[in-house]
Amino acid sequence: MLPSDSAPTGPLGPAAARLVAGDLLVANTWAAGRGEAQETVNPADEQPLWRINSATPAQVDAAVAAARAAFDGGEWSRCGPTGRRDLLLALADQMERHRAELEEIVVADVGTPVSLARTLQVAIPIANLRWFADAAVRGPRGGYDEPLRPHFGNVASTSMLLREPVGVVAALVAYNYPLYLTVWKIGAALAAGCPVVLMPSPRAPLAVAALAELAVRAGFPPGAVNLVQGPPSVGEQLARHPDVDMVSFTGSETAGAAVMRAAADTTKKVVLELGGKSPDIVLPGVDPDQILPAAVLRFTRNAGQGCGATTRLLVPRQRYDEFAAAAIAALESLRVGDPTDPATDVGPLISAGHRAGVLARIGRATAAGGRVLCGGQAPPGPGYYLRPTLVGGLSNSDELAQEELFAPVGVILPYEDVADAVRLANESRFGLNANIWGPTTEAFPIARRLRVGNVTLNGGGDVRPESPWGGYKRSGVGREMGEDGLAEYFHVKHLQWRM
C-alpha cells in the first residue's frame, strides 16, 4: 500500500502503480520521504504523473546505515556467491513477470516509445541481470582467489590475490534509460557482494522505485537494496558519506564533476559515465541511401536522450550535398508522437526546460551561420516534442558540434580525407562512442585511431552483456558492464607467505 504522502496523480494503471510502493526503501521497509515534495509529469501530454517526497538528511543516513549493517555482518554478507546468484535470478524473474508494468512505467515516466521500451528499456536489462547472476558464481576475471607463481628472491615465497567486495555502493542513475543503467550498477554490485543505496533521477524516478520493490519481492535480505529520492543535494550527501565506499554515477559532465568533488572528501572510489558528442564517420565509397536510415536513428532513438548518440555526422566534402539530402529524407520519414503507439519512432524530451534549452542552442547555431536543414521546431500540441533536426554550415568547433544536447539533433560536417575525419572525430573533450560506415578492412584501422571507449563498424550488433561501456577523456572514469565493469566493485588484496 502507498504511504499516505506518496501517491499517483496520473494515468498509470493499477498494476503498474502498485510497483511504486513509496518514496524510500530502507532495510526492506517502504516509507514516505519527509523532505520537499515534487510532482513528476508525463512528458508526452504534460499531465501530472506522480508525487514524490525527498529524503531528509536523516533518512539518507538511515539508508546508508542499513546498507552498512547488511555488509558488516548482516544476512546479506553471509549469502555467498551461489546465494547472490539465486537472488539476482529471482529479481530477473520478477522483472520478466512484470514486464508489461515496467514498460508502461518507462513509457509514461521517460516518454520512450513503447517499441524501444520493450527491448532496450526492459528486455535487455533482464538479460544483463542474468549475466551478472552467472558472474556472481564464477567471480571476477582471475577469480575470487587467484594463486600466483612462487617467487625465489632473498626470501622464497608464494602468494595469491584475493578479490573482495568494495563495500557499500551509492548508485546514482540518470533518467534516460533508468532500468538499464540501474541494472548495470546494482547487477555488478550485488554480484560482487556489495549492498547498494539507489538514487534515481528526480526527472524519472518511477522505474527505479519499481525495480527496488521487485528486489524486495525477489527475497533480497534487508539492507541489500535501498532507495532514496530527492534533489542533487541528496546525491552529494551520498557521495560525501563516510560509510559509502564507492559511488557509481551516470549523468552530465557537470554533475559528475560535482560527485567527484564530493567523493574526494573521503577519497572513495568513483565510477562515472558522463556522456559524449560522438562521431559517425561515413567513408567515401558508401551509398548514402543504404546507411542514412540507420545512421539517423543513432541520434534520434529515445528522442536523442542517449549518452552514446552519434550526433556528429562526418561525410566526404565532395559528397556533402548528397549525404545531407539522404539524411534529411531519413529524418523526415520518422514518426514523432505518442510513445504508447508502436508505430512511433521519436517520443518527447523529458521536460519543457530541457526542450527550451535545446531550442536556444539551435537558435545560437543559426545566429552563428548554421543552417537548419530539417526539423528544429516543436510541433503544435501538448508534450515536449522536438522534430528530428539536422544542422549544417557549422564547423567542428561550434557549440552545437561540441556540447551534448541530449536531443534528436545532429550536425553534418564535411571532411577532406580520412585523416581529416579522424582529426575531427578526436577533436572533442568527450570520448565515449563512435561508429564508422564502410568496408571493414578500411574501417578497422580507423577505429584504432579514435580516442573513444566504444566503436561500432556499420552499426555494430546486439547489445552484449559481456562488453564493457565507458569512455576516454571527460566521458568518465571506469567502466560499466562486462568483466571490466564487474571488476570495479572489488578491492584486490595481496596475500603472501614464506615457502
From the candidates 101, 103, 104, 273, give the one annotated as an active-site residue: 273
Q: What cell numbers appear for 368 in the block?
A: 552563428
CA separation for the pair 351, 41 (Å, rounded): 8
The 3-state DSSP class for residue 74 equals: coil
From the candidates 79, 194, 253, 307, give the one annotated as an active-site residue: 307
CA separation for the pair 459, 437 (Å, rounded): 8
User: Residue 78, Cα to own-chain centre: how many angstroms?
Assistant: 30
User: Is residue 79 annotated as part of the catalytic site, yes or no?
Assistant: no
Q: Which residues contact 230 (CB under 8 A, 6 or more apart)?
A: 33, 35, 36, 54, 55, 60, 199, 202
User: Is residue 103 annotated as part of the catalytic site, yes or no?
Assistant: no
Identify the CA nearest to 198 among candidates 219, 176, 224, 177.
224
Active-site annotation, residues:
273, 307
